[in-house]
Amino acid sequence: SGVALTYKWDFDTDNSIDATGRTSDWSYPETGTYEVTLTISDGSRSQTTSKELTIVDASAVPPSAEISSESSDEDCLGEDVDEGNYIHIWICDLDKTQTDRTADGEVTIQLDASESSSGSNDDYISKYYWDLDLEYDADGDGDSENDNDLEGETVEWKDIRPGEYEVGLTITNGKGLTDSDDIKVYVSYGASWLDFAIGRSTSQNPTQIDYDFVVNYDQDAGNTVRKVVGDLMYPQKDEPCFVGECTGKLDLVALNDEEEEAQNTEPSDDSAYESRDGGDCDSDKYCVTMTLSSYIFTDTDNTYGDGDWTIMVSNNETAEQQV
């Protein structure tokens, strides 16, 4: 501490000292892009950094960057999707086979900057730069929100998995002025498995079928799952029924990647199975829903964390059950 620092400025890239001091003024004869270099020294060590400086006419008007919002028309249940100042895309894998019991998918998202403006009628937009991860500094310049991951007025962002993202756009007009915009991107996912059988329970142990999915809960990156919902519909009576009432007894069980049971729909009293015929359930069916809220995926002593999860369909009846 107490060591005096010297500041040396090179404003015209001729490797000579044009000015000294912690702050300095310099005049350029015409508009354009220039490189400014600053060297700081304490007498024994020095450090140099350079930045580009764009000089424009005083009458130049800056551009206005705008990313177009978009939402899927419907979710995987056929319900309308709300629109807003964001992008919300649904991936729907309906009627999957039992040979593929993984709930996961990818989608290509079109990012559109066509509603951006150059700033004035006699100007144009010369560059469209898209930054697909505002937390990661891909070009190493110290700014994580100005990377050029994709370029163009409209671009295709490929192989996007379910999650929550934020992307940025930086545009430059013909005068060299820039403007930026960013937008949240939500990718939701739904899958269904239809018309299959699950074997009967044996030796008082239920038969179970696993369905796997990945949960992301990264609060620092802003990628946090909102909820996971499992819906199960099955016949009220086992068919054929040879003994007793043959009430269907299927449940959903959720396990985290350490195989800890986070939630189970099995009632404490078997008579509760017969009350599963309400709501939108078909008249001869029982329906059960399991909702896993975002909180359950946080990492605390009382929650279960994110990662690889499983929802199991569990048959507690001593007869094969149709789903």
Q: Are residues 127 and 84 in the same domain?
A: yes
Contact 82, 139 (CB under 8 A): no
pLDDT-wise least confident of 30-44, 77-91, 174-188, 242-256? 242-256
Q: Residue 181 has which token pair?
A: 């915009």
CA triplet 142, 148, 153: central angle to 5 degrees? Answer: 145
Structure tokens at 94: 């309906």
Q: State residue 2's pLDDT score.
A: 67
Q: For position 245, what pLDDT does the model report?
A: 62
* Lowest-pLDDT range of 43-47, 144-148, 233-237, 303-307: 144-148
- Mark whether 50 and 111 lie in a shared domain: no
Residue 243 is predicted with a pLDDT of 62
Is residue 65, in this structure, part of any structural domain at all?
no
Output the pLDDT for position 282: 86
316 or 108, greater pLDDT: 108
pLDDT at 4 over 60: yes
Q: How confident is the model at residue 1, as a pLDDT?
A: 55
The pLDDT assigned to 223 comes to 85
pLDDT at 298 over 60: yes
* Domain count for the chain: 3
Query: What is the structure's pLDDT at 241?
Result: 65
The two three-digit tokens of residue 316, written as one number? 């507690």
Q: pLDDT value at position 240?
A: 65
pLDDT at 244: 60
Closest alpha carbon to 72 in 90, 47, 91? 90
Is residue 300 over pLDDT 60? yes
pLDDT band at 295 (very low <50, low <70, confident <90, very high): very high
258-272 tens-digit pLDDT: 999 999 999 988 888
Q: Which residue has the higher pLDDT, 298 or 144?
A: 298
Q: Are residues 203 and 315 in the same domain?
A: yes
- The mean pLDDT of 48-64, rounded to a whole number, is 90
**248 lies in the same domain as 282:** yes
The CATH number that applies at residue 96 is 2.60.40.10
Residue 182 falls within a domain, yes or no?
yes
Tell me which residue range forms the domain holding 318: 195-322
Q: pTM value?
A: 0.82
Please check whether residues 19 and 83 belong to one and the same domain: no
Phi, psi of 271 (to 5 degrees): -65, -20
Are 162 and 187 within 8 A, CB to CB?
Answer: yes
pLDDT of res. 270: 83
The pLDDT-based confidence of 317 (bands split at 50, 70, 90) is confident
Average confidence score pLDDT of the chain: 91
Whole-number pLDDT of residue 206 = 86
Q: Same domain for 298 and 226?
A: yes
Are 45 and 82 members of one domain? no
Q: Residue 183 — very low, low, confident or very high, per pLDDT cuts 50/70/90?
A: very high
Answer yes or no: do 201 and 136 share one domain.
Answer: no
Q: What is the distance between the alpha carbons of residues 49 and 40, in angstroms, rounded to a whole number? A: 9
Sole residue written with tokens 């990377």:
147
Question: What distances in angstroms separate CA 280 from CA 234, 276, 283, 286, 321, one per listed residue?
Answer: 13, 10, 9, 10, 21
Q: How far apart are CA 246 and CA 233, in angstroms?
A: 16
SS3 85: coil
